[in-house]
Structure 1
Amino acid sequence: MKLIVVDDEKGIVEGLQKMIGRYLPECEVIGTAHNGLEGRNLIQRRQPDIVITDIRMPQADGLDMISMLKETDCAAKFILLSGYADFEYARRGIQLGVKFYINKPVEEEELSGCVRQVMEEIRADRAKQQEMIELKQEVHSRNQEEALRSILELGVDHTDLVEELLRSAHIPTTNTRFASIMIELEGTMDALKEIGFEPLLRQIDLALKPYRGVYRFRYSGPQVAVLIAHGSTIAYGELIRVIRRLKEAVSRELNLSIAAGIGTVQEQAAGISRSFEEARMALSYKVVKGAGAVIPFPETMNREGQIRPVSEETIAKLESALDNMDEAECVGIIRGIFRGMETAPGISPADLQQQCLNILLSSIRNMSFQQLQQNGFLGRHILSLEGISRFRTLEHLEEWMVQVIRGMIAFKVEHHVPKKKDMITEIKEYVTTHYNEPISLADLASRFFISPYYLSQFFKQKTGDTYLNFLTQIRMNKAKELLERTDLKVYEVCQRVGYSDPQHFARMFEKVAGCKPRDYRKNLPDM
Structure 2
Amino acid sequence: MSYQVMIVDDEPEIAEGIAFLIQRFCPECQVAEVAYDGLEGYEKAISLRPDIILTDIRMPECDGLEMIRRLQAGGLSTKYVVLSGYAEFEYAKTAITLGVEDFITKPVEEDELCAVLQKSCRSLQREQENHEKLQHMKSTMKDYVLKDFLERSGKYTETIKDYLEQYDFPVSGRQYVCLVTDLYETPERERRQEFLRLVKEKELASLGFLQACFAVEYSQEQIVLTGALKREMEPRSLHYAAEKLKNQLTQLLDTTVNIGIGMPYRNVEDIPKSFEEARCALNYKIMKGSDCVISYTQICDIEDSASPILPEDIKRLEECIDRMDDEGCRAAIEEIFRKISEKNTLSLEELQMLSLNLILSGIRKIPFVQFQLNQYLGKNIFSLESISKFRTIEQLKNWIINTLRSMNELMLKDNLSEKKDVIQEAKEYITKNFNREIGLNEISEKFFINPYYFSQLFKKKTGETYQNYLIGLRVERAKKLLTETDLKIYEVCEKVGYSDANHFNKVFERFVGMRPSEYKKQRR
Structure 1 length-normalised TM = 0.51
* 1:192 counterpart (187, 196, 205): 187
2:139 is aligned with 1:141: yes
Are the structure 2 counterparts of residues 66 and 166 from structure 1 closer, same or farther at C-alpha, using a change threshold of 3 Å? closer
Are the structure 2 counterparts of residues 209 and 121 from structure 1 closer, same or farther at C-alpha, using a change threshold of 3 Å? farther
Q: How many residues align?
A: 352
Are the structure 2 counterparts of residues 203 and 247 from structure 1 closer, same or farther at C-alpha, using a change threshold of 3 Å? farther
Are the structure 2 counterparts of residues 60 and 255 from structure 1 closer, same or farther at C-alpha, using a change threshold of 3 Å? closer
Letter in 2 for 1:267: R
Name the counterpart of 2:104: 101
2:373 is aligned with 1:414: yes
Within-5 A mapping of 1:166-245? 166-167=164-165, 170-187=168-185, 191-193=186-188, 195=190, 197-202=192-197, 206-207=203-204, 208-210=206-208, 211-234=210-233, 236-245=235-244
Are the structure 2 counterparts of residues 238 and 138 from structure 1 closer, same or farther at C-alpha, using a change threshold of 3 Å? farther
Alignment check: 8 A CA contact 2:349 2:384 kept: no
Alignment check: 8 A CA contact 1:77 1:118 kept: no
Name the counterpart of 1:362: 349
- Give the superposition deviation at 1:302: 3.0
The C-alpha deviation readout for 1:277-327, integer Å capped at 9, x for no partner, is 2212211222221223221222222367x84579xxxxxxxxxxxxxxxxx
* 1:4 counterpart (7, 26, 42): 7
Are the structure 2 counterparts of residues 129 and 299 from structure 1 closer, same or farther at C-alpha, using a change threshold of 3 Å? same
* 2:152 counterpart (151, 154, 161): 154
Q: Secondary structure at the match of 1:271?
A: helix
Are the structure 2 counterparts of residues 280 and 403 from structure 1 closer, same or farther at C-alpha, using a change threshold of 3 Å? farther
Which stretch of structure 1 is more off in the superposition, 290-299 or 65-74?
A: 65-74
The C-alpha deviation readout for 1:193-220, integer Å capped at 9, x for no partner, is 5756323434666445423322222324
Within-5 A mapping of 1:243-262? 243-262=242-261
Q: Distance in 1 between matches of 2:364 and 2:198?
A: 39
Name the counterpart of 1:520: none
Name the counterpart of 1:340: none
Are the structure 2 counterparts of residues 81 and 291 from structure 1 closer, same or farther at C-alpha, using a change threshold of 3 Å? closer
Q: Distance in 2 between matches of 1:171 and 1:412?
A: 51
Q: Secondary structure at the match of 1:197?
A: helix
- Give the superposition deviation at 1:239: 3.9
Alignment check: 8 A CA contact 1:179 1:265 kept: yes
Q: Distance in 2 between matches of 1:149 and 1:131?
A: 27
Q: Distance in 2 between matches of 1:143 and 1:15?
A: 49
Letter in 1 for 2:151: E
Q: Distance in 2 between matches of 1:87 and 1:361?
A: 80
Name the counterpart of 2:340: 353
2:28 is aligned with 1:33: no
Structure 2 length-normalised TM = 0.51
Name the counterpart of 1:263: 262
- Give the superposition deviation at 1:66: 5.3
- Give the superposition deviation at 1:3: 0.7
Which stretch of structure 1 is more off in the superposition, 159-168 or 170-179?
A: 159-168
Alignment check: 8 A CA contact 1:179 1:263 kept: yes
Alignment check: 8 A CA contact 2:302 2:346 kept: no
Letter in 2 for 1:183: T
Within-5 A mapping of 1:122-521? 122-156=120-154, 163=161, 166-167=164-165, 170-187=168-185, 191-193=186-188, 195=190, 197-202=192-197, 206-207=203-204, 208-210=206-208, 211-234=210-233, 236-302=235-301, 307-308=305-306, 353=340, 361-363=348-350, 402=361, 414-415=373-374, 450=383
Letter in 2 for 1:275: S
Alignment check: 8 A CA contact 1:183 1:223 kept: yes
Are the structure 2 counterparts of residues 303 and 14 from structure 1 closer, same or farther at C-alpha, using a change threshold of 3 Å? closer
Letter in 1 for 2:33: I
The alignment yields a C-alpha RMSD, in angstroms, of: 5.1
Name the counterpart of 2:492: none
Alignment check: 8 A CA contact 1:179 1:272 kept: yes
Name the counterpart of 2:52: 50
Alignment check: 8 A CA contact 1:203 1:249 kept: no
Letter in 2 for 1:178: Y
Q: Distance in 2 between matches of 1:228 and 1:116?
A: 51
Are the structure 2 counterparts of residues 176 and 130 from structure 1 closer, same or farther at C-alpha, using a change threshold of 3 Å? farther
Q: Distance in 1 between matches of 2:239 and 2:219?
A: 23
Answer with 1 or 2: which has the greater Rg: 2
Within-5 A mapping of 1:83-98? 84=86, 97=100
Q: Distance in 1 between matches of 2:269 and 2:65?
A: 60
- Give the superposition deviation at 1:138: 2.8
Alignment check: 8 A CA contact 1:147 1:169 kept: no
Alignment check: 8 A CA contact 1:181 1:262 kept: yes
The C-alpha deviation readout for 1:259-293, integer Å capped at 9, x for no partner, is 22111222221332232222122112222212232
Are the structure 2 counterparts of residues 143 and 251 from structure 1 closer, same or farther at C-alpha, using a change threshold of 3 Å? same
Q: Distance in 1 between matches of 2:163 and 2:371?
A: 37
Are the structure 2 counterparts of residues 154 and 449 from structure 1 closer, same or farther at C-alpha, using a change threshold of 3 Å? farther
Q: Distance in 2 between matches of 1:76 and 1:162?
A: 37
Alignment check: 8 A CA contact 1:100 1:114 kept: no
Are the structure 2 counterparts of residues 405 and 116 from structure 1 closer, same or farther at C-alpha, using a change threshold of 3 Å? farther
Q: Secondary structure at the match of 1:292?
A: coil
Higher relative contact order, chain-length normalized (CA < 8 Å, sep 6+): 1
- Give the superposition deviation at 1:354: 6.6
Q: Distance in 2 between matches of 1:292 and 1:234?
A: 23
Q: Secondary structure at the match of 2:187?
A: helix
Q: Secondary structure at the match of 1:172?
A: coil
Q: Secondary structure at the match of 1:180?
A: strand
Q: Distance in 2 between matches of 1:90 and 1:161?
A: 49
Alignment check: 8 A CA contact 1:307 1:351 kept: no
Q: Distance in 2 between matches of 1:406 and 1:138?
A: 55
Letter in 2 for 1:361: L
Q: Distance in 1 between matches of 2:80 and 2:160?
A: 51
Q: Distance in 2 between matches of 1:404 and 1:61?
A: 90
Alignment check: 8 A CA contact 2:83 2:103 kept: no
Q: Which runs of 5+ in 2 are unaligned?
A: 309-317, 319-335, 388-524
Are the structure 2 counterparts of residues 413 and 260 from structure 1 closer, same or farther at C-alpha, using a change threshold of 3 Å? farther
Q: Secondary structure at the match of 2:216?
A: strand
- Give the superposition deviation at 1:102: 4.5
Letter in 2 for 1:198: Q
Q: Secondary structure at the match of 2:178?
A: strand
Q: Which runs of 5+ in 1 are unaligned?
A: 311-330, 332-348, 367-377, 383-397, 418-445, 455-527
Are the structure 2 counterparts of residues 273 and 416 from structure 1 closer, same or farther at C-alpha, using a change threshold of 3 Å? farther
Letter in 2 for 1:240: H
